Structure 1
Amino acid sequence: MVEVQGNPIKRFVVKQFLPLGFLVAVVFAMIYPVPGDAMYQFKVNGWKLVTTINMALIFFIFGITLETSELKEAMKGYKVLLLGIFTILFITGLSGFIFINMDFKPMEFGYGLAIFACVPTSLSSGVALVIQGYGNAALALLMTVSTNILGIFISPIVVKMILSSAIKDIKVNAVDLVVKLGVSIIIPLIVGKGVRELWAPALKFAKKYKVPLYLVNQFQIVMIVWQTLSHSRHELLKQKFYDVLFAIMGAIGQHFFFLLLAIFIAWIVPFIGLRMQDGERKAYIIMCAQKSLPTAAVIISYLPSGPTGDHTVDAETDEVATGSEGLGDLGLVAIPCIVFYVMQVFIDAFLANGWASKYEKAEKLQDKYADQLKALESLEPDAPSLIAPSAADISADKSAAAGLQLQVQAVEVSDMAPLLGSAPEQSDSVTVSSNTQRQ
């Protein structure tokens, strides 16, 4: 999470940079789509050059800011890490079969949700929310790195398998996708990490300019969204309002599905022998519910467009024909992914804030009763029990101390009034107990 000092306007802009950037991208793409569309379609030897550069910059910055010590610390929870990898890349990935068979109009919306289910976890928002909720940030970071690297090889295979189940003879070159994802993700990540570790000025630069690097990273995601929406503007405006609304609700529902699935798995795994600490559980739930928009955008951009699997009727022959080679308009495919990505930040922020409030309340209770015990100790000089107790008195005092501990625990649970003011008639026993603790 990026901490920003200074005036509140600057802090707000940095914290809300991504949703603000998305808003500007949507408005600009709808009003004047020409430059964004030109960038989206600009290719060199089959490579979408601008999108590839955006993606490479995201992972280069991710690599140059990546702390090795945090990754080493996270390896202590390797069992939860392996469960997280399996959940993100396989369990939620295979749920794409559900979404691709839902009755979306146009079908591109369903294809988008199915593809988004297959991609790795988010790059920055997930880790930031885990930190916000007092979860295990190191484990969240390792889940991000491992799933985004393994996803280069796994996601294209799962995507092809799911799309092939709904679109007859779709031409998805999984090997080509692996190569393009490797160039867009793993090479920039390795280069960024190598520069950080081998060149001291780079390490100082990454630490000094952490906030600007964070903003540059987020700007690349905004650029991808802007280009995609600009390219699909003409098709998007043709769609009926309630069809677009259904796609938006589907994206929100998909995230809630992933969230509830992760919560259920985190609840059930202790019964089969895998115990999660509280911080690990928080990291697992957040990271398994989130998905990476840049990775999805790259996969979508290199999938075949053209006729979808919708049935059409030839006006002259009255024969039913089925599109079988592509996903239709790729910009429409990306729209539910964009909605999912935006909504996951807001939805999971509520969850993280709830965890944070609970944690901070517990900390305040501990501080509250720590002050009370100090106040009790200040009463000891006036207590009649300053006389050296007998063996029998010591035994009795131990029982009184145990009773006091139970009283404090009961008050903590019910959050009652401070102990000093709750039962003045018990002051003698309390004083004796405190005296015994001092001895």
Structure 2
Amino acid sequence: QGLTLRTKELGAALQAWPAGLFGLGSILLFTPFLAQFLVQIQFFPREFITGLAMFCCMPTTLSSGVTLTQLAGGNSALALAMTVISNLLGIMFVPLSLAKYIGTGAGVSLPTKELFRSLVNTLLVPLILGKVARETSKGAQDLISFLKLLSLGKFLIWTCIPYVGIAEFVDGNRQGFSVLSAVLLSLVPWIQVSRSRSLLLSVKPKAFAIIVTIGVLLHLALLAFNATTLQVLSCLKQKEESVLTRKEYARAVILVASQKTLPVLVAVVEQLGGALGESGLLVIPCVAAHINQIIIDSILVNWWRQRDQRSTSAK
């Protein structure tokens, strides 16, 4: 994420700060609040419903939200800003939400400090390293030009060459990096699920069907909440009406604020070390929920695009 992060894209989202602020509130405050109601559901295996409740406490997806926003004609700068900020703030919010809404209800004391350190290593450090590498490559090109201008030694110039072109290479191969990122991210939950293969085979198909249905209903509820609340806010706050009612901003918020990230959840489950149950059983309903949210949102994006085409044809 750090390698592909363009600072100017984040700056372009500042004009839509009311919509972005609502989106962050929905991601980090509202959906984690729903977790306490999910854990009240009596379900076997218990890990299924606990895993889905944990999924509610996660920040938004790392890439699919931005991609779908672009396809829907939404504001990708706003989508990217919400993605980056929610995942960074999630370093603090996720451990607190898990402890408050899930750990307390389960009677388990969660290692909040260890979770915080784990999320720093998983989210913050890679982002900073990638961003530093990207910005260093830009500075290296300018430094080489400056050294050549001063006719300084070739050794100094050669030391800068490895850093040159990283930003340009990444920007020119963004689609390839997206595919690589998706493949690597898919391996993370696969490893966790594979560890619990024997337990998964003992679970009845009916339990899978029910938990998948609950996950689908949860995502539909989030889409409905975000869309409805945006509409209500646009009516109540005339000052921000131009931002909240603009199609490109509304679509970005609805998509990004309704999705939850799977890799961060897997990192959290790994760090908990079985405190809330068997790791594979916690992850499997979230894998299904992650896949279903992308399918549902793809259908929504397709519907938006068809409606836009009909609107354009009518004009």
Query: What SS does structure 1 have at the residue aligned with 2:41?
Result: coil
| CA–CA distance in structure 2, aligned partners of residues 334 and 174 of structure 1 | 20
| CA–CA distance in structure 1, aligned partners of residues 13 and 114 of structure 2 | 33
Q: Deviations over 1:204-228 (max 9, x none)?
A: 2102322321121011111112201
Q: Deviations over 1:240-275 (max 9, x none)?
A: 111121111111111111111111211211132042
Q: Deviations over 1:4-35 (max 9, x none)?
A: xxxxxxxxxxxxxxxxxxxxxxxxxxxxxxxx
Tell me the residue number matched to 2:295. Answer: 346
Deviation at 1:336, TM superposition (A): 1.0
Q: Do the aligned residues in 2 keep the contact of 1:152 with 1:181 (CA within 8 Å)?
A: yes
| The one of 155, 163, 171 aligned to 1:207 | 171
- Aligned alpha-carbon RMSD (Å): 1.2
Tell me the residue number matched to 1:178. Answer: 116
Q: Do the aligned residues in 2 keep the contact of 1:172 with 1:304 (CA within 8 Å)?
A: no
The gaps in structure 1 that reach 5 residues or longer are 1-61, 306-325, 367-439
| CA–CA distance in structure 1, aligned partners of residues 93 and 50 of structure 2 | 18
Is the counterpart of residue 94 in structure 1 residue 63 in structure 2?
Answer: no
Query: What SS does structure 2 have at the residue aligned with 1:224?
Result: helix
| CA–CA distance in structure 1, aligned partners of residues 112 and 189 of structure 2 | 24
Q: Deviations over 1:298-335 (max 9, x none)?
A: 11111141xxxxxxxxxxxxxxxxxxxx3221110111
| The one of 65, 69, 72 aligned to 1:126 | 65
Query: What SS does structure 2 have at the residue aligned with 1:66?
Result: coil
Tell me the residue number matched to 1:364. Answer: 313
| CA–CA distance in structure 1, aligned partners of residues 104 and 219 of structure 2 | 23
Q: Which has the higher contact order (CA 8 A, sep 6+)?
A: 2
| CA–CA distance in structure 2, aligned partners of residues 178 and 272 of structure 1 | 37
Q: Deviations over 1:128-167 (max 9, x none)?
A: 1111111111111100000000001111100111123321
Is the counterpart of residue 197 in structure 1 residue 135 in structure 2?
Answer: yes
Tell me the residue number matched to 1:112. Answer: 51
Q: Do the aligned residues in 1 keep the contact of 2:193 with 2:279 (CA within 8 Å)?
A: no
Deviation at 1:356, TM superposition (A): 1.2
Tell me the residue number matched to 1:281. Answer: 250
Equivalent AA in structure 1 for residue 293 of structure 2 = Q
Percentage of matched positions with identical amino acids? 29
Tell me the residue number matched to 1:321. Answer: none
Q: Deviations over 1:343-381 (max 9, x none)?
A: 111100111111111222223333xxxxxxxxxxxxxxx
Equivalent AA in structure 2 for residue 254 of structure 1 = L
Q: Superposition pairs for residues 191-340 of structure 1, below 5 Å?
A: 191-200=129-138, 201-273=165-237, 274-275=240-241, 276=244, 277-305=246-274, 326-340=275-289
Query: What SS does structure 1 have at the residue aligned with 2:44?
Result: coil
- Point out the more displaced range, 266-275 or 127-136: 266-275
Equivalent AA in structure 1 for residue 51 of structure 2 = G
| CA–CA distance in structure 1, aligned partners of residues 17 and 113 of structure 2 | 29
Q: Superposition pairs for residues 380-419 of structure 1, below 5 Å?
A: none
Q: Where do 4+ consecutive residues of structure 1 move more than 6 Å? A: none
| CA–CA distance in structure 2, aligned partners of residues 177 and 356 of structure 1 | 40
| CA–CA distance in structure 1, aligned partners of residues 103 and 70 of structure 2 | 39
Instruction: Report how many residues are paired.
Output: 284
Greater helix proportion: 2
Tell me the residue number matched to 1:160. Answer: 99
Tell me the residue number matched to 1:313. Answer: none
Query: What SS does structure 1 have at the residue aligned with 2:2?
Result: helix
Tell me the residue number matched to 1:402. Answer: none
| CA–CA distance in structure 1, aligned partners of residues 57 and 83 of structure 2 | 14
Equivalent AA in structure 2 for residue 335 of structure 1 = I
Q: Do the aligned residues in 2 keep the contact of 1:247 with 1:336 (CA within 8 Å)?
A: yes
Q: Do the aligned residues in 1 keep the contact of 2:38 with 2:49 (CA within 8 Å)?
A: yes
Query: Which TM-score applies when normalising by structure 2?
Result: 0.87
Report the structure number with the largest CA radius of gyration: 1
Tell me the residue number matched to 1:147. Answer: 86
| CA–CA distance in structure 1, aligned partners of residues 185 and 49 of structure 2 | 22
Tell me the residue number matched to 2:142. Answer: none
| CA–CA distance in structure 1, aligned partners of residues 181 and 292 of structure 2 | 19
Query: Which TM-score applies when normalising by structure 1?
Result: 0.63
